[in-house]
Amino acid sequence: MRRKLGLRLCEAALVAFFLISSLLLPLASADTKRLLQAIEEASSSCKAVSEKIFEFKELGGQEFKSSALLKEELTKLGFNVKGDLSVPADLVQGGIAKTAFKAEMMGKGPGPTITIMLEYDALKNGHACGHNLIAGSGLLAAAGLAKLMKELPGRLLVIGTPDEERGSLGGGKIALLEGGHFEGTDAVLITHGADRWSVDQRLLAMKRATFTFKGKAAHAAAAPHKGISALDAVILTFNATDMLREHVRQDVRIHGIVKKGGDAVNIVPELAEAEFAVRALDTATMEQAYARVVNCAKAAELATGATLEFKEPRTALKAPVVVPEFVDIVAAQMQSIGIPKEQILDFSEFASSDLGNVGYSFPTVNVWFKVAPMGTALHSDAFREAAGSEEGWKGAVMAAKVVALSAYDLLTHPEKVEKIKARFKELKEKEGK
């Protein structure tokens, strides 16, 4: 009797367990289980790639070994890989982006095109921005998706985007965008290591300005009245922009350096030069503030009589147009792999990246994943150590899962992609640019 009761209790517990788990885990479909398993299986080979890139530590535009390695791995996975991408010659010398590449894998029929971007350039102090993990995690996501792609609708693109750290010069993503290499993309995913998990997409739009003033040399003591000080014009530009700073939105950043200030103390400076960067959380506000900074330099020209030489730069960094519906999809996948909602945090400080230009052209989400203790700054030696650590790779594997699951969700739900695209268009028009 006791035994029978025990058995019944066991049965009841089992039934309850299956009922509860089927209610709690309706999302863990056979496909997503296979996807996650494929990622686990490919993890050690992608880790080796990330470690090699960490050791190569190639600077922007010189990532020859890193890009060759990634191309080789993608080819092994069955992607159709193309290097030496043609881009505008005024952005990349010779008009060929030699360390960029584009890898393509077709699904079983028509559907959305999802693009995963990889970065792999280092800084002077090595991979202190952890781009080795961006490459490793993106490759791992692609490896997982490659296993399923033949059964899925749509197309998967993996684009290798070099030279991120000098992105404002236009040799990285801007050149690839202008070269048409993102053509046909519906949504873009990328990862980046950080001191936290985050889906905060904010980046500062940024444009540089170089002001060169030409004055007139004269003896600084014997004949100052015959001279025109170019340095005065530079100083006036700084003073005027300092006044402007009080009357711009809080997120606007204006910062400058003096590049030339004269040759000798006894000569009225004939040539002086300053370089500024102007930033804001949206592209339109940045452009407005930028125009006012240029006016400060023009006012200095008028006041001093020095001649201003100024040319708008060829490229600027834009702020992404953030689609909340897309961000929500990625945030849900972060939670589905076990990141608690309260550990997905926003940022309070922002930088600029050519990622913003991609996010201004296509709906884009960057998956920030935790590799370092809270408060560890990007570009620091401590962050470099984290990017080369076991913990760092653990974070990269989780980020790969988030990217792959999000891409799978989009590939299998074209209606979600259409909604994201429509919202993107609407929000971009609202921004007024």
Question: Which residues are near Zn ion by CB under 5 A?
Answer: 129
Nearer to Zn ion, 101 or 383 (CB): 383
Nearer to Zn ion, 81 or 194 (CB): 194
Computed from CA positions of residues 408, 413, 414, 415, in that sequence, does the dihedral angle turn out positive or negative?
negative
DSSP 8-class letter at 229: -
Q: Residue 16 contacts by C-beta under 8 Å, 6 or more apart in sequence?
A: none
382 vs 54: CA distance, rounded Å: 14
Q: Tell me the two tokens of residue 325.
A: 């519906």
Shortest Å, Cβ 196 to Zn ion: 15
Nearer to Zn ion, 304 or 366 (CB): 366
Length of the chain equals 433
Nearer to Zn ion, 129 or 159 (CB): 129
Shortest Å, Cβ 20 to Zn ion: 42
Shortest Å, Cβ 378 to Zn ion: 6
Q: Which helix (H) or strand (E) holds 265?
A: none
| Residue nearest to Zn ion according to CB distances in the complex | 129
Q: Residue 398 contacts by C-beta under 8 Å, 6 or more apart in sequence?
A: 337, 339, 369
Nearer to Zn ion, 337 or 351 (CB): 351
> DSSP for 171-209?
TTHHHHHHTTTTTT--EEEEEEEESSBB------EEEEE
Shortest Å, Cβ 156 to Zn ion: 23
Q: Tell me the two tokens of residue 21.
A: 């788990």
> DSSP for 80-91?
EEEEEEE--TTT
Distances (CA, A) of 154 to 92, 102, 114, 407: 31, 16, 8, 11
Shortest Å, Cβ 104 to Zn ion: 25
Shortest Å, Cβ 66 to Zn ion: 14
Q: Are 105 and 89 in contact (CB under 8 A)?
A: no
Nearer to Zn ion, 129 or 169 (CB): 129
Nearer to Zn ion, 163 or 186 (CB): 163
Nearer to Zn ion, 129 or 268 (CB): 129
Q: Are 283 and 360 in contact (CB under 8 A)?
A: yes
Shortest Å, Cβ 19 to Zn ion: 46
Nearer to Zn ion, 129 or 177 (CB): 129
Shortest Å, Cβ 165 to Zn ion: 7
71 vs 81: CA distance, rounded Å: 7
Shortest Å, Cβ 131 to Zn ion: 6
Nearer to Zn ion, 128 or 297 (CB): 128
Q: Give residue for tokens 């849900």.
A: 332
Looking only at the bridges linking them, the beta strands covering 187-194 and 364-370 are parallel
330 vs 187: CA distance, rounded Å: 12
- Residues 162-197 as b or e (16 or more Cβ within 10 Å = b): bbbbebbbbbbbbbbbbbebbeebbbbbbbbbbbbb
Nearer to Zn ion, 132 or 412 (CB): 132
Shortest Å, Cβ 368 to Zn ion: 11
Q: Are 420 and 323 in contact (CB under 8 A)?
A: yes
Shortest Å, Cβ 389 to Zn ion: 17
Q: Residue 325 contacts by C-beta under 8 Å, 6 or more apart in sequence?
A: 416, 419, 420, 423
- Among the residues of 246-380, which ranges form H helices? 283-304, 324-336, 355-361
